[in-house]
Amino acid sequence: MFNSIRVRLTLWYLLVFGSLLVGFSSYIESSLARDLREQFDTSLLRTSRTTANYFSEFVERKNVAGGARETILEMKLEKLGAAIFQGNELLATSGEEVNRAMRSAGSRPAPMFTTDPNLHKRLVVFPFQAEGGKYTVGILAPLNELEGQIGRMRNIILFGLPAAILFAAAGGFLLVRKSLEPLVTISEQAERISAKNLHERLTVANPNDELGRLAAIFNALLARLDASFRVMREFIADASHELRTPLAIMQGESDVALSRDKTIEDYKQTLHIVRGQTKRMARIVSDMLSLARADAGVQHLRVEELYLNDLVEECCQAAQALAHPKGVQLAWEASDDISFRGDEELLKRMAVNLLDNAIHYTQPGGMVNVKLTSDQSLALLIISDTGIGIPEECVGRVFDRFYRVDKSRARAAGGSGLGLAIVRLAAESHHGSVDVVSQPGRGSTFTVSLPLQT
Ligand SMILES: Nc1ncnc2c1ncn2[C@@H]1O[C@H](COP(=O)(O)OP(=O)(O)O)[C@@H](O)[C@H]1O
Ligand SMILES: [Mg+2]
**What digits encode the pLDDT tens for the residues 162-218?**
999 999 889 988 998 888 888 888 888 888 988 888 888 888 878 888 888 888 999
Are 306 and 447 in a shared domain? yes
CB distance 130 to ligand 1 below 6 Å: no
In a domain, 188, yes or no: no
pLDDT band at 19 (very low <50, low <70, confident <90, very high): very high
Contact indicator for 383, 445 with CB cutoff of 8 Å: yes
Residues 78-115 pLDDT 10s: 888 999 988 888 888 888 888 888 888 877 788 999 99
Yes or no: say if 123 and 102 are a contact pair by the CB < 8 Å rule: yes
Evaluate the CA torsion angle 246, 251, 254, 256 in order and state its sign: negative
Q: What is the pLDDT of residue 106?
A: 79
For the domain that residue 240 is a member of, what is the CATH number? 1.10.287.130
Domain boundary, last residue among 116, 132, 149: 149
* Dihedral angle, C-alpha 8, 14, 17, 18, nearest 10 °: -150
Average pLDDT over residues 240-269: 91
CA distance 275 to 349: 21
Q: Percent of the chain having pLDDT more than 90?
A: 58
pLDDT (tens digit per residue) in 306-320: 999 999 999 999 999
Backbone angles phi, psi at 252, to 5 degrees: -60, -45
Decide if 432 is inside a domain: yes
Q: What is the mean pLDDT of the chain?
A: 90
The pLDDT, as a whole number, for residue 409 is 65
Using only C-alpha atoms, the chain has a radius of gyration, in whole angstroms, of 54
Residues 143, 80 share a domain? yes
Q: Of 270, 295, 320, at which residue does a domain stop?
A: 295
162 within a domain of the structure (yes/no): no
Residue where a domain terminates, one of 246, 276, 295: 295
Is the beta carbon of 127 within 6 A of some atom in ligand 1?
Answer: no
Q: Check pLDDT > 80 for residue 36.
A: yes
Give the atom of ligand 1 at the shortest distance from the alpha carbon of 383: 1
Amino acid at residue number 90:
L
292 conformational bin, left if phi > 0, alpha if psi -120 to 50, beta if neither? alpha
Our answer on whether the CB atom of 410 is closer than 6 Å to any ligand 1 atom is yes
**What mean pLDDT is predicted for residues 252-257?**
92
pLDDT tens-digit profile of 233-248? 888 898 898 899 899 9
Of all atoms in ligand 1, which is nearest to the CA of residue 385?
1
Continuous segment of H or E residues that includes residue 139? strand 133-142
For residue 341, report the distance from its CA to the centre of ligand 1, in Å: 28
Residue 254 has pLDDT above 60, yes or no: yes
Q: Coil, helix or strand for 28? A: helix
The CA-atom distances, in angstroms, between 13 and each of 184, 312, 416, 444 are 20, 74, 66, 71
Q: Helices marked H in 61-143 — which ranges?
A: 64-74, 96-105
Query: Is residue 87 domain-resident?
Result: yes
CA distances to 166, 378, 384, 421 from 349, rounded to whole Å, are 77, 20, 17, 11
Among the bound ligands, the one closest to the CA of 405: 1
Number of helical H runs and strand E runs in the chain: 10, 12
Q: Cα separation of 328 and 324, whole Å? A: 6
Q: How many CB atoms lie within 10 A of CB 137?
A: 30
Q: Which residues pair with 450 in a beta bridge?
A: 379
